[in-house]
Homo-oligomer: A and B are copies of this chain.
């Protein structure tokens, strides 16, 4: 197993097997640039490039790392990503002296993560949210339409999805203000205006598109993974009461447009390869454009996912959900193939997300709506408080990792603190 000369704790999310990309700004000043996480450090790729370390690769002289987003690098495609990844892995390897034994270079290119600010990793042109967990779709359907009509007739035939709001996607750590809007209490004759009373999170994962496709030219399922740069954690904050009143007939709008948080480190597909597992069996067999037939991209991933909540009164966070990426019914490749089959163009930096990832077990439900069964089964927190929805001052944190033998390939966290609603003047 390869090992870095940089010490990495066994439970760190960022061993040499991971090498996720992010955008950071040194706290002491300087322009945003691209880095790779290794243990407690971030490796400054812009500085490495300046030092000539990518001289033999396609990125050399293009300045793609001295930029405030990954978009230019992502647009270059998988062969270039792989070239850079193997260069970085070699530079960090315990047996490679180039960086290990060069104090001055190490000083220039390595920074403690605690001494940088992590920014949104990509400029997100469009954000699409799918609905790919059967347990989630079934639970939500049961809660809103009853058990007999829980899953819509289309659900097993196509990956249902919709367009989310790109402008309000924020990086982990950004505080989230409780939205106001129109709510219609069930017994009221008319809607009222006020702060959402049903603020929720959604445990999701997202994938960032690398190279895009030309408008009118679908991406075949067998090529879909070539367009995927990497994965992030996603919390699609939701105001259930705003959503319930507004969403007919055109779908969710303001109930999900105030904030969507993503984790700052983008984990490359290559780092997840050892954790591929067979995808769930699909019945009925989907139409040919969605069939894998043993081609690339037919697998799922074993990614352990957790949600924790810490209220203002609690001394530490408490886990309220434990789920797994493998609960998703549709594969990433199926979702990319479906998204583009009518000619819709994806662009570098586009974010596609899975929808809430719930499993069959109660503890694997990925949002408050399901965990509390629409408010009827409160969560009891260890400090004695109860929650049916999120309260002001709550900190909500998602985390996720793949467990290897003696190491973890992790996503870090995506966290956000709930601020009270603005007072309208």
Chain A positions within 8 Å of B, measured between CB atoms, are: 125-126, 131, 141, 152, 154, 157-158, 160-168, 170, 177, 179-182, 184, 190-193, 196, 215-218, 239, 242, 245-255, 257-259, 284, 287-289, 338-339, 341-347, 350, 422, 424
Once the chains bind, are A216 and B424 in contact (CB under 8 Å)? Answer: no
Most chain B beta-carbon contacts within 10 A, residue among A242, A252, A257: A257
Once the chains bind, are B126 and A190 in contact (CB under 8 Å)? Answer: no
Assuming the contacts A246-B158, A251-B252, asked whether A342 and B258 have C-beta atoms less than 8 A apart, the reply is yes
Once the chains bind, are A152 and B339 in contact (CB under 8 Å)? Answer: no
Which 8 A-B pairs rank lowest in CB-CB distance, beginning with the nearest?
A: A251-B251, A179-B342, A162-B250, A163-B163, A257-B344, A258-B343, A177-B216, A250-B251
Once the chains bind, are A131 and B177 in contact (CB under 8 Å)? Answer: no
Once the chains bind, are A191 and B246 in contact (CB under 8 Å)? Answer: no
Once the chains bind, are B253 and A162 in contact (CB under 8 Å)? Answer: yes
A339 and B196 CA atoms in complex are apart in Å by 15
A190 and B157 CA atoms in complex are apart in Å by 8
A420 to chain B, nearest CB (A): 11
Q: Classify the interface of chain A: helix, strand, loop or mixed.
A: loop
Once the chains bind, are A254 and B342 in contact (CB under 8 Å)? Answer: yes
**Oligomeric state, in copies:** 2
Assuming the contacts A167-B126, A218-B422, asked whether A193 and B254 have C-beta atoms less than 8 A apart, the reply is no
A192 and B158 CA atoms in complex are apart in Å by 11
A209 to chain B, nearest CB (A): 10
Once the chains bind, are A259 and B343 in contact (CB under 8 Å)? Answer: yes
A179 and B239 CA atoms in complex are apart in Å by 34
A345 contact from B154, B168, B181, B215, Cβ within 8 A: B168
A97 to chain B, nearest CB (A): 46
Once the chains bind, are A160 and B342 in contact (CB under 8 Å)? Answer: no
A425 and B152 CA atoms in complex are apart in Å by 30
Residues of B within 8 A of A258 (CB): 215-216, 342-344
A164 to chain B, nearest CB (A): 6
Please name the residue on chain B nearest to A194 by beta carbon: B287
Residues of B within 8 A of A164 (CB): 163
A190 and B154 CA atoms in complex are apart in Å by 9
17 contacting pairs across A/B (C-beta < 8 A): A141-B249, A154-B246, A161-B253, A162-B253, A165-B344, A167-B215, A167-B347, A167-B350, A168-B215, A177-B216, A180-B342, A181-B341, A191-B287, A242-B342, A247-B249, A251-B252, A257-B342
